Amino acid sequence: MFADFHHKPGAFMRGGYEDLDIIFEESEREKVDFIIHAGDLTFGPSNHLDFVKKYNDFHIPTYNCLGNHDTDGTSLEETLKLYKMQNGYY
């Protein structure tokens, strides 16, 4: 489980593809059953489709909780669709 990734290239020093790879590597090493991001994966997933796809398509199941920045520049409906969530909760 991790939170507050805030993926927005050029805005923050962390939260990029390399950091996501570290989470994936640790998840594989620890043989986890699933991965949960607990809010603010991106500043609006429609602005970072490749990053969201990489997270969604990992071979270990991934889940999201919505944070206050996940809908920046993206409607709630579109954010839920891009994060593969049927509702704002599981």
Give 54-90 pLDDT, tens digit per residue: 999 999 999 999 999 999 989 999 999 999 999 888 7
What is the rounded CA–CA span in Å between residue 53 and residue 48? 9
Question: For residue 37, what are its two tokens?
Answer: 């991001």
Whether 47 and 75 have beta carbons less than 8 Å apart is answered as: no
- In this prediction the pTM is 0.87
What is the rounded CA–CA span in Å between residue 7 and residue 69? 10
